[in-house]
Chains A and B, each alone.
Chain A
Amino acid sequence: MLEIKGVNSFYGKAHVLNDLSFDVERGQVVALLGRNGAGKTTTMKSVMQLVVPQTGSVTYQGTDITRMAPHKVAKLGLGYVPEERRIFTDLTVMENLEVGRQPAREETVTWSEDMLFDMFPNLAERRTNRGKELSGGEQQMLTIARTLMGNPSLILLDEPSEGIAPVIVEEMARVILRLKKDGLTVLLSEQNLHFAQAVADRVVIIESGTAKYKGTLGELNAHPEVRDTYLSV
């Protein structure tokens, strides 16, 4: 579904992604694991073309999306949930959802506000509140809901469990599994191995912008030394 091939991305002169390659299969939840500064966020941005790879290619459902404008990438069905959440703090919950609205797409679920409020009951109570009045957990839910309004078939979740209360982390895991059941493909980045273990089918471990390990979750659990080398557990 998504193929990242030999991608090299830079911030000015800083070489951050180094010949990064991995695939994401349709219907899977893939966890991108790595320490602070390993390049997880940059990978997400390079997929969305918010950071344009200097060399290499990103292919989505057979279409080469390298150097495409981010809004076109989104229109193809890629949904991006950024690490810093970036909700529109002056807009109400309803208005935030409106920004994410895109026409229905054949291959995926078509989300409505009501379906999203079913999934995130907390948000339902706060639909007329402004973004800045929400708690951290509510903001995290709102970013996901906002992206789902675009009816994506692949969703990029950058550290969904970061900085939120443990109860909400559990809810987040349930949401991801529910999305998977609905047929969405998920690429998420994590430092929290436990969270990844709860939701992921496959893992890709990156360090210094290079994929150091790719495999199923079971395989990773069978090789604790890999875990210890690349992740801070």
Chain B
Amino acid sequence: MGLFIAQILTGLANASALFMVASGLSLIFGVTRIVNFAHGSFYMLGAYVGYSFMQVLPGGFGFWASILLAGLVVGIIGIIVEMLVLRPVYKAPELFQLVATFGVILVIQDLTLLVWGADDFLGPRAPGLKGIIRIMGEPVPKYDLALIALTPFVAFALWWLITKTRTGILVRAATQDREMVGALGVNQAWLFTGVFFLGCALAGLGGAVQLPKGGADLLMDFNILSAIFVVVVIGGMGSLPGAYVAAVLISVLNVFGVNYLPQSTLALMFVVMVVVLIFRPFGLFGREEVAGEHGQVGEPERPIKPAGQTARMIVVVGLVLLGLLPLVGDSFILVLITDIAIFCLFAASLHFLLGLGGLVSFGHAAYFGGGAYAAALLVTYAGTPMELALILAPLAAGLTAIIFGWVCLRLTGVYFAMLTLAFAQLLWSLVFQWGDFTGGDDGLVDIWPSEWASGTTTFYYLALVLCIGGIILLRHTAHSPFGYALRGARDSARQAEATGINTKHVQWVAFGFAGAMAGIAGGLFVFSKGSIFPNELEIARSFDALIVVFLGGVKTLAGGVVGGAALEGAKDYITRFEYWRLLLGLLIIFVVILAPDGIAGTLRKWAERIGFIKREDQA
């Protein structure tokens, strides 16, 4: 009994920071309709800034003042980000906003590294709250009790602000109808900035307040992200009570999980989420979100046509050059091109989902890494030959995609994006925690191609054939009746339903198909490297693909391929810099703001302007 109560208390204490961060995310989303993927970064900043203040401000007063100051400073950083990065993209399609906030993640990661260095900080203990109290014989840290007492005050202050003040009324009104609030004379720009300040300040407070329990490190941003998403999905986006209840639920469950099911603590919260979603698709306290308020795209979509004469010629010439490459290139070049080809297939499979299906998946690494792990596990435990493993990898990845897709496709838009990301994290955590089977952090090694394909040149051809074959298959599918049905489902679900298309079904199949294609890439990846580690399943990997598709251009079919080649090529170069994330982050932000059609799309526009390609509407 004593242990039980102690565990509940620990859970409640852990819920404190989670609630603050999640309610901040919820608030920002409610008003601006932007899911701030960088929210974890503000949480991390809060921890670092709070830590620094605690070094200079002494005593109990200094400790609590540091936490408040951390919230304030992070809120101000939030204002800067909002004004510089988000203001230009409020009217842009959702994907652009998400990618922009991802750029912010990269920038903040490197700036934090730059300012505070790579070492983890152990959080200072709270003066006056250092010891433990025994409750029915079980030790409970005093600081935990302080957090449990503190959270209701924060929740109450927020509730008061939202329900009782004019600002809160405006925020709630804007959550429902921003345009109308503007037409009544309220300057929305400042309302947005204010809400962003508040949301980021809450994230900063959350980061600072957990210092004595968790300290500060550079992985905090991604580590909390899926927990926040799970909390807002369970609680209901935009609902403060929902955020609180869900944060408590998840935290308490986690504590029990650690004690009774140590292998699957992370998986546990996803199970709860899935159960909640099945019964309440918009969360415990949430309501249906009207999706697509600011429309799908800035400009009317062009019909994607089968390649013209010129394009075909360019592709054929390119393929011939690639085919002849082993005659001149050394093995370094061949390995690099193999990497690029694999990555291009991965990116093209995401492009298929995203560009054609309008399905913004933020967890595509699950299927790439899933295929890779499937192949690696088959080789390690069943001695499966490469040929069979390469066939089974896409099957396994496709199956995973079908299972995850079943849940994710119950929701749309940003919810869908959050769910896909959360599921990818689930897979990552399974692989990471189930070390006996998957090798955990040490990965799986010694997975080499069959004898005949083990030469660099032979494997290069194998990878090239499979990847190009996969890309052609994706393209071909895009122009098949299935591709048109998928596009129909994206542009107007209702219209598509009216013509007898089961849109959910079409999207589900597409999700599985794209997953399988990513699985081929994953399988090839394992055999080209000889090993696999959990980082191939990480959020960062999913984002790689997303950025590539984005940089390449969502609306051009070539987008995935061009972007993939560009990034994988550039990465080889750019990652030699210490602060490459900063560069990449800034690049992404600039592209979002200045060249929203991506590289391929922008090139195409230039080409049209100088008359190299004819515009569709003139043709």
Binding site for B on A (CB under 8 A): 12-13, 48, 50, 69-71, 74-75, 80, 82, 86, 88-91, 95-96, 98-102, 146-147, 150
Contacts and interface: CB of A to CB of B under 8 A. Distances in A.
B56 interface: no
Interface in B140-186: 166, 169-170, 172-173, 176-177, 179-186
A98 B166 contact: yes
Contact of B181 (A13, A90, A99): A99
Contacts of A74: 182-185
A91 B168 CA distance: 11
Interface in B267-302: 300
B179 A99 contact: no
A71 B188 contact: yes
A74 B169 CA distance: 19
B183 A80 contact: yes
Given A74-B184, A88-B177, 6 more contacts: A71-B182, A82-B183, A86-B177, A88-B176, A98-B169, A99-B186
Interface string B333-363: 0000000000000000000000000000000
A69 B172 contact: no
Contacts of B185: 71, 74-75, 100, 102, 150
Given A88-B177, A98-B166, A99-B170, A50 B183 contact: yes
Contacts of A86: 177, 180
A95 B183 contact: no
B187 interface: yes
A82 B300 CA distance: 27
B35 to A, nearest CB: 21
A91 B182 contact: no
Given A146-B184, A150-B184, A50 B176 contact: no
Contacts of A90: 172, 176
B300 A91 contact: no
Nearest to A102: B185
Interface string B182-200: 1111111000000000000
A96 B172 CA distance: 10
Contacts of A12: 300
A101 to B, nearest CB: 8
Contact of A91 (B169, B183, B184, B186): B169
Contacts of A50: 179, 183
Question: At the interface, is chain B mostly helix, strand, loop or mixed?
Answer: helix
Given A50-B179, A88-B177, A90-B176, A147 B169 contact: no
A13 B300 CA distance: 9
A147 B184 CA distance: 7
B184 A88 contact: no
10 contacts: A13-B300, A71-B183, A71-B187, A74-B182, A74-B184, A74-B185, A88-B176, A95-B169, A95-B173, A150-B185
Contact of B172 (A13, A80, A91): A91
**For B169, B179, B180, B188, which residue has the most chain A Cβ atoms within 10 angstroms?**
B180
A13 B301 CA distance: 13
Nearest to A99: B173
Contacts of B300: 12-13
Nearest to B165: A98
A193 B76 CA distance: 55
Contacts of B184: 71, 74, 80, 99-100, 102, 146-147, 150
Contacts, number: 61
Contacts of B166: 98, 101
A45 to B, nearest CB: 9
A48 B181 contact: no
Contacts of B169: 91, 95, 98-99
A75 to B, nearest CB: 5
Contacts of A13: 300
A49 to B, nearest CB: 9
Contacts of A71: 182-188
Given A12-B300, A75-B185, A70 B172 contact: no
B250 to A, nearest CB: 26
A31 to B, nearest CB: 21
A52 to B, nearest CB: 12
A48 B182 CA distance: 10
A69 B177 contact: no
Contacts of B181: 99
B34 to A, nearest CB: 20
Nearest to A12: B300
A46 B183 CA distance: 12
Contact of A69 (B170, B173, B180, B182): B182
Nearest to A152: B185
Contacts of A146: 184
A70 B183 contact: yes
Contact of A88 (B172, B179, B182, B183): B172
Nearest to B180: A86
A146 B184 CA distance: 8
B173 A88 contact: yes
Contacts of B176: 88-91
B576 to A, nearest CB: 46
A84 B344 CA distance: 48
Contacts of A100: 184-185
Contacts of A75: 185
**For A12, A99, A146, which residue has the most chain B Cβ atoms within 10 angstroms?**
A99
Which 10 residue pairs spanning A and B have beta carbons closest together?
A74-B185, A88-B173, A86-B180, A99-B173, A70-B182, A71-B182, A80-B183, A95-B169, A75-B185, A71-B187
A48 B184 CA distance: 10
A100 B170 CA distance: 9
**For A69, A70, A95, A96, which residue has the most chain B Cβ atoms within 10 angstroms?**
A70
Contacts of B177: 86, 88
Contacts of A88: 172-173, 176-177, 180
Nearest to A146: B184
A139 B543 CA distance: 46
B173 A48 contact: no
A111 B366 CA distance: 59
A13 B170 CA distance: 34
A70 B184 CA distance: 8
Contacts of B170: 99
**For B172, B179, B182, which residue has the most chain A Cβ atoms within 10 angstroms?**
B182
A50 B180 CA distance: 9
Nearest to A151: B185
Contacts of A99: 169-170, 173, 181, 184, 186
Contacts of A96: 173
Nearest to B177: A86
A101 B180 CA distance: 13
Contacts of A82: 180, 183
B289 to A, nearest CB: 14
Contacts of B172: 88, 90-91, 95
A71 to B, nearest CB: 5
Contacts of A70: 179, 182-183
Nearest to B186: A71
Contacts of B179: 50, 70
Contacts of B183: 48, 50, 70-71, 74, 80, 82
A202 to B, nearest CB: 25
A92 to B, nearest CB: 9
A86 B177 CA distance: 8
A91 B169 CA distance: 8
A43 to B, nearest CB: 15
A91 B172 CA distance: 8
A4 to B, nearest CB: 18
B296 to A, nearest CB: 12
A40 to B, nearest CB: 17
A147 B177 CA distance: 15
